[in-house]
Each structure stands twice: as structure tokens, then as C-alpha cells.
Amino acid sequence: MTQTLSSGRKVPQRVRNELKFRTLTVSDKQLVAQQFWRISFRSEALVGFTSPGNDDHIKLFFPESTLSPPPIPSVTDEGIVWPDNQRPESRDYTPLEFNGRDSLTIDFFRHKHGVASEWAEHVEIGETLTIGGPRGSLVIPEDYAQQLYIFDETGLPAMKRRLLSVKAENIMLIAFADRKVVEEYLGAQLADHTLHCLEGKAMDESGVADCIGLTNPLHFPSDDHFVWLTGEGKAVKALSDHFVEQRGCSPELVRAVAYWHAKG
């Protein structure tokens, strides 16, 4: 049963999806905003794939070599079983676009020393990859009056999906990223939305303080707001605590997801 808030708005709803593993073939590769590899995959195995949440995550399993076919695990009553008990290295990524039949697109942020980024940098059309999920989705209503989104480059694909359908009286976006990259990546979807870019700022204690300063003038109507936070784990936790404990935001209307963790 979907819970209704005092404002009459509904809370975000969790949806369970069938867990299935699929082997996909790279069909296209393009450089976007100089910071992302946009890679499209095709496969008849995508029949039945679903991703209703804008920040859904699927697992991508990276083969040790392109010379051997990617392994496909079995889903059993005891759990997931990989051939020879050899589970490939994996990372979570947001599905960007799905045509409902046989084509899936994922954006890979380019950075150093990452297995996914390295794979995307060198992959060629015709190579294959195994994916799994999404196992579950969070479907977020589109029309909360006040909406706030705080993210870095890793959150841009989910942000792009959200802006395709979001409706609100006021939307503020705060990006720990270069404005040129954000504007080129999101393009016309930024129209009528307030964007602040903390260029050159890291998601650390200082950056979090600057970010909070930008949000101080915002008013969060009771049970009629939504806050989405993503990026580095400690920063996301600090921001989540601030909006719930200091600004009085409803915990069920603050979505905080760590996409990566700083070392040390």
C-alpha cells in the first residue's frame, strides 16, 4: 500500500524487480561532454528488462579478457552461483536509456584507476558484457513542491533521467562539477531550473559547508519536498544528517546514496 503524507503527496515507493542476468553486445560508443563514454548495448536478452527508478543500479560484470565469453551465473534457491565459483569484478551503474525491447545505454564517467572506466575507455563495438538487475527500484513522485538535488559527475546520468519527467514549483541543482560539463551533459533539461556549480570544490568538509550555505534560503514545505544526495559517502551522510536534523526534512523524502568513497 502506498503511504500518503500530510500534504497529500505520496512517499517514494520501493518496487521489487525480477533478478536476471543478461549478456549484452556493445553496439555504439560516443564521447559526451568530454567526460563520459556513452555506450549502447543490444541484445534480445533485454526482453523483460525494467528500470522504473531514475537512480536504479544494475551490476556490470567485467571480464578478465575479451577473448573469452562473459560468464553467466545461475540463480538458485541457495543464491547466485557463478561458474567455477569465479565471480567477475563488478560495479554499479545507472541505466540511462532503454528502448523497451533490445537496446540499453549506459554512461561511464571517465576517471583514473577504475575497472569500469578502463573498460569503457578501451571497449570496442562487438564486445560483450554481463549485467544483472536492477534487483529493486525506488519510484519517486515527480511533483513535490520543493526539490533539491546535490551531486557530482557520477550522479549526472541519474539526474538526466530525473529531469525528463520532474515537475515542481521550485527545483535547485547543486553540482560538485565544472559548469561547462554539467550544462553540456544536461543541455535543455536545465531550462527553468536553478543550477549552482561548486567548481573546483571537493566533496569534503569544506565543500559540504559551501553547499549547505547555498541551500540556507530554501524553504521546505512540510511533507511536500524531496532531497536527492549522491557522490562521496561521507559527504552524502553529512548532508543527509543536515537536512533531516537541522532543516526538518522528512526522512522518507531525503534520498541519500553514496556512489563512491574517498580513501583514507
Mean pLDDT of the chain: 94
Q: What pLDDT score was predicted for residue 263?
A: 84
- For 18-134, CATH number? 2.40.30.10
For the record, the C-alpha cell of 166 comes out as 520532474
Q: Give the HSE-up count for residue 62: Cα atoms under 13 Å, Cβ half-sphere.
A: 15
Question: 212 and 239 in contact (C-beta within 8 Å)?
Answer: yes
> Residue 66: what pLDDT?
65
The CATH architecture assigned to 141-260 reads 3-Layer(aba) Sandwich (3.40)
All residue ranges of the chain with pLDDT < 50 are none
**Predicted pLDDT of residue 102:** 97
Name the residue ranges covered by the structural domains of the chain. Answer: 18-134, 141-260
- pLDDT given for residue 75 in this prediction: 85
How does pLDDT run across 100-137, given as a tens digit for each residue?
999 999 999 998 888 999 999 999 999 999 999 999 99
pLDDT at 84: 82
Q: Please provide residue 186's backbone torsions phi and psi, each rounded to the nearest 5 degrees.
A: -85, -25
- What's the grid cell of residue 194? 536553478
Query: Which of 114, 157, 120, 162 has its CA nearest to residue 30?
Result: 120
Given this model, what pLDDT does residue 3 score? 86
| CB contact at 8 A, 253 and 11 | yes
